Chains A and B, each alone.
Chain A
Amino acid sequence: MTGHLAPRPGFVLDVDRNSPPIVFHHGEGFRLEKLPPGRSRVIYPAEPLEGLPDPDSAIREALLNPIGESDPLPALLRPGMKLTIAFDDISLPLPPMRRPDIRQRVIEAVLDLAAEAGVDDVHLIAALAIHRRMTEDELRHAVGDRVYDAFAPDGRLYNHDAEDPDGMVVLGETPHGEDVQFSRRAAESDLVVYVNINLVAMDGGHKSTATGLSGYTGLRHHHNVHTMRNSRSFMDQENSALHASNWRMGKIIRDAGVKIFQIETTVNNDTFGREGPLALLQKREWEWSARDRMQFLGMKAGLDVMPTKVKRKVFSSWQAPYALTSVQAGEVEAVHEVTTENVYRQHLVPVEGQTDILTMGMPYICPYNVNSIMNPILVMCLGLGYFFNLYRGRPLVREGGVLIMSHPTPWEFNPVHHPSYIDFFEQVLADTTDPVEIEKKYEKQFAEDEWYIHLYRNSYAYHGVHPFYMWYWGSHALQHLGRVIIVGGDPAAVRRMGFQVASTLQDALEMASDVVGPQPTITHMKNPPILMADVT
């Protein structure tokens, strides 16, 4: 891969006898796996698109030339108005990007215009819904020191608090009976500017505000098993019940008089850098040089003997050199249509036909363990939720097929970030792994638990109900798959989730043959960098 050549699109490799072993992500490490020739294929993501040459100019251009029925941002700003700038939280992008973060660039541009227009009443809110609060360091990283120092000390830059009884309002109800719960500050603002980073096709649009500035009362209407099972997939807006619900809520928000100026951005696939220690994760294995091979083997050997805590620290410190590939602003739906095209432009890979066995290497990070631990529930959510649903058309794996994931899956949790996850794992999954049963029997208790609410509001804990949503996220896959096997996982943790554990990929393939027969087709989804399969 070289900078001066046009980036290559995603690619499907048919594995033959000459194909080299494939690198699988495996938490804070990697595995080299040889896939059976003649019936295996590997889907590679597209190479990183070129970034916009002058991001700051592109952002300003977007603010001045909005899409859809919207005035340019300066025309929406006036002295004496109440302005709220809401922005995506720590879950985006993944991994966190190098400074300056896109949010900082956009927010600074918006604040410049607000200052020019004489707007004084400005609040900035991390639209985290029921995610954990961002720390000062994380907020500084997202919005930049200048913005943080100007707004945080006097309480004008803060984390959304979905459990603040005085801070939330219900704007109405959709025709489907869904309560639209919303931030009072945002609802009472003359203008809400939303600053998004659209990493995957599920992000953005009305979901930014209808979810990001909502709370349990609102979220429960779409973060549930029924919705997730009827989102085929939740990454494909045309076929996503999750998307439809958020759009219905967006209409209620609009009809309630909340004016939203949506700013959406997309980044390229430069997750691991074109140079540096992780660069070879963006190269196709048969194109590795001898130096790449030596470097990889050295890195793998080092990681294999490194204590887990040290590995986590090393990986958590990685910041992606993402480049901005598009920025569009204006009316929510019109903006999001363009955003989605730009996401697809980077992520979509045409794939013909489904497979009997889908394999995935699970990386060290997902949206909910930034600076934290990838606990077993998050492994499930990333694999059966996010990665499984990265398809358009049909799932990559056929109904009744087998999903094989590779991850250490330790029985380990960050108690500060994920206190209710521990209880979910110890109590709920010990009882049942059926999402419907879990939702019916346990959700309310966890959602209303005072201690979880206290920790969500005052510490850095995900809301008590969050692990339920993680499990629901995988409910479509759970219904679709015949078996789930985790290679290299902790046996007790894997079994607690109702999955099977294998020590090697070969063992896993052997175990899968009970379900899919002796000569199954195998597809490896080589993700990340992110790809979305367009399956015909």
Chain B
Amino acid sequence: MKALQFRRNLPRYAAARMAGSLTPGRGAAAGPLKLVDLDGPQAPGPDWVQVRPRLSGICGSDLATVDGRSARYFEPLVSFPFIPGHEVVGDLADGTRVVLEPVLGCVSRNLDPTCRPCSNGHLGNCEHTSFGDLEPGIQTGSCHDTGGGWSTAFSAHPSQLHPIPDVLDDEAAVMIEPTACGVHAALAAEVPDGGVVAVLGAGTLGLVTMAALRAYTDSGTVVATARYPEQRRQAATLGADQVVAPDEIRRAVRRITGSRAIGAPGLDETPTEGIVDRLTGGADVVVDCVGSSTSLTDALAIVRPRGRIVLVGMPAEVSLELTPLWHREIALVGAYTYGIETLPDGTERRTFDLASELVTEAGLGSLVTATYPLARYRDALEHAASAGRRGATKIAFDMRDEKERLL
């Protein structure tokens, strides 16, 4: 089979970091990611099945890995070499089309009894991600034993697979996993009825989160930041009432909430009135789909006292002034993956089911802008890393015509 494999190789890791810092996505050429021919996947357990990917998306966390920007936090939670790719629509041997719910919880690790989060359906919070029958790996795509979606075949536990109806084409299906992240984030936001929500970032995660906020919460005004024209257009289409440039978000939230503002204290007597450094009031909820020092600083500046910041974008090390978090009693919560959600009316649904419905209703398949064969992985990753600037949203690998898959 053909696969993009990521090996532990510190010199190449450093080279990827260097190349990725110069040109995002360029780490693919300099780093430890290689296109390789391998034997077919070995099932890690008796129940496991083989999945032949049709499309496999490129996620922001994948790009961080390729460019050497991932946090060292993940080192004990992955096993080398691994094949990335966790946003997958593929075929089973019997021709059933499935999407992958990539989280590797207790069930797929053959652990019994399962940990408490897994028992409650919160697979993303599994306490045993480096234990059990599998090598470490929080998801398919970071675990040596399972393989991953950037290949012509990988192994999956049946509990990870969701058959999809024929009405959902591959492009729509490959959007279900990232959309599930957005749904989970939107519900984790606990938006009060009519509440003002600011969504920072209009990449894939930002856009699907906006759609989820509109579909599954009673958000009032949603204001979003977008850096590029196509992102602005998409954000407005998917439910943002206002879309502004990232450096305009503080003023925008101030206007929307009728808050007052405070200017940054200077070193001299220069007046600061009229400068919007931070708000005295602010948005009820900020969903940070970027995860940088800048975006988190913005989030703290624009969320109201006792407001809530949901961190969806994967951060690495950030530098952050936390005094406002303490002083204004702000809740900062993470939103990672999915599982079982409790809707505002109290009903419980699987996140993937909600995401699947949302992808259909909001037409999120259209966010898949370009696909590449595995052989052009360098182009694909550079395209994904500059997606916004190039008018794209989701870039995916397309294995449907791969020779090895057709054998």
User: Which A residues have a C-beta under 8 Å from some C-beta of B?
Assistant: 414-419, 422-423, 426-427, 430, 445, 449-451, 454-455, 458-461
- Binary CB contact string for chain B from 268 to 297 against chain A (1 if under 8 A, 0 otherwise): 000111111000000000000000000000
Q: How far is the CA of A303 from the CA of B92 in the complex (A)?
A: 72
- A451 in contact with B261 given A416-B271, A426-B248 (CB within 8 Å): yes
Asked if A449 contacts B271 (CB within 8 A), the reply is: no
B255 within 8 A of A: yes
- Binary CB contact string for chain B from 252 to 277 against chain A (1 if under 8 A, 0 otherwise): 10110011110100000001111110
Q: How far is the CA of A468 from the CA of B271 in the complex (A)?
A: 24
Asked if B244 contacts A416 (CB within 8 A), the reply is: no
17 contacts between A and B (CB under 8 A): A414-B274, A415-B276, A416-B271, A416-B274, A416-B275, A419-B273, A423-B251, A426-B248, A427-B242, A427-B244, A427-B255, A445-B255, A449-B255, A451-B260, A454-B260, A455-B274, A458-B273
Q: How far is the CA of A214 from the CA of B11 in the complex (A)?
A: 72
Q: How far is the CA of A460 from the CA of B244 in the complex (A)?
A: 27
A residues less than 8 Å from B260 (CB atoms): 450-451, 454
- Binary CB contact string for chain B from 218 to 244 against chain A (1 if under 8 A, 0 otherwise): 000000000000000000000000101
Smallest distance from the beta carbon of B253 to chain A beta carbons, Å?
11
Q: How far is the CA of A135 from the CA of B272 in the complex (A)?
A: 15
A residues less than 8 Å from B258 (CB atoms): 449-451
Asked if A426 contacts B274 (CB within 8 A), the reply is: no
The chain B residue sitting closest to A419, CB to CB, is B274
B residues less than 8 Å from A451 (CB atoms): 254, 258-261
A residues less than 8 Å from B248 (CB atoms): 426-427
The chain A residue sitting closest to B263, CB to CB, is A415
Contact partner of B273 among A426, A427, A445, A459, CB < 8 A?
A459
B residues less than 8 Å from A455 (CB atoms): 273-274
B residues less than 8 Å from A423 (CB atoms): 251, 255
Known: A416-B274, A451-B254, A451-B258. 8 other contacts (CB 8 A): A414-B274, A419-B274, A419-B276, A427-B244, A430-B244, A455-B273, A458-B273, A460-B271
User: Which B residues have a C-beta under 8 Å from some C-beta of A?
Assistant: 242, 244-245, 248, 251-252, 254-255, 258-261, 263, 271-276
B residues less than 8 Å from A459 (CB atoms): 271, 273-274
Nearest first, the 6 A-B pairs at minimum CB distance are A419-B274, A459-B273, A415-B274, A451-B260, A415-B275, A416-B274
Question: Chain A: interface secondary structure?
Answer: helix
The chain A residue sitting closest to B273, CB to CB, is A459
The chain B residue sitting closest to A426, CB to CB, is B248
B residues less than 8 Å from A418 (CB atoms): 274
Asked if A416 contacts B273 (CB within 8 A), the reply is: yes
Asked if A461 contacts B273 (CB within 8 A), the reply is: yes
Asked if A422 contacts B254 (CB within 8 A), the reply is: no
A residues less than 8 Å from B254 (CB atoms): 451
- A417 in contact with B274 given A426-B244, A451-B261 (CB within 8 Å): yes
B residues less than 8 Å from A416 (CB atoms): 271-275
Smallest distance from the beta carbon of B239 to chain A beta carbons, Å?
17
Smallest distance from the beta carbon of A126 to chain B beta carbons, Å?
19
Q: How far is the CA of A134 from the CA of B271 in the complex (A)?
A: 14
A residues less than 8 Å from B244 (CB atoms): 426-427, 430
B residues less than 8 Å from A414 (CB atoms): 274
The chain A residue sitting closest to B242, CB to CB, is A427
A residues less than 8 Å from B274 (CB atoms): 414-419, 455, 459, 461
Smallest distance from the beta carbon of A466 to chain B beta carbons, Å?
13
B residues less than 8 Å from A426 (CB atoms): 244-245, 248, 251-252
- A422 in contact with B251 given A415-B263, A450-B258, A451-B261 (CB within 8 Å): yes
Q: How far is the CA of A232 from the CA of B171 in the complex (A)?
A: 59
Q: How far is the CA of A377 from the CA of B367 in the complex (A)?
A: 37
Q: How far is the CA of A430 from the CA of B243 in the complex (A)?
A: 10
A residues less than 8 Å from B276 (CB atoms): 415, 419
Q: How far is the CA of A36 from the CA of B336 in the complex (A)?
A: 66
Smallest distance from the beta carbon of A432 to chain B beta carbons, Å?
14
B residues less than 8 Å from A419 (CB atoms): 273-274, 276
Smallest distance from the beta carbon of B312 to chain A beta carbons, Å?
25
Q: How far is the CA of A422 from the CA of B255 in the complex (A)?
A: 11
B residues less than 8 Å from A422 (CB atoms): 251
Q: How far is the CA of A454 from the CA of B280 in the complex (A)?
A: 13
The chain B residue sitting closest to A461, CB to CB, is B274
The chain A residue sitting closest to B261, CB to CB, is A451
B residues less than 8 Å from A454 (CB atoms): 260
The chain B residue sitting closest to A452, CB to CB, is B274
Smallest distance from the beta carbon of B233 to chain A beta carbons, Å?
13
Q: How far is the CA of A270 from the CA of B251 in the complex (A)?
A: 42
B residues less than 8 Å from A458 (CB atoms): 273
Smallest distance from the beta carbon of B389 to chain A beta carbons, Å?
16
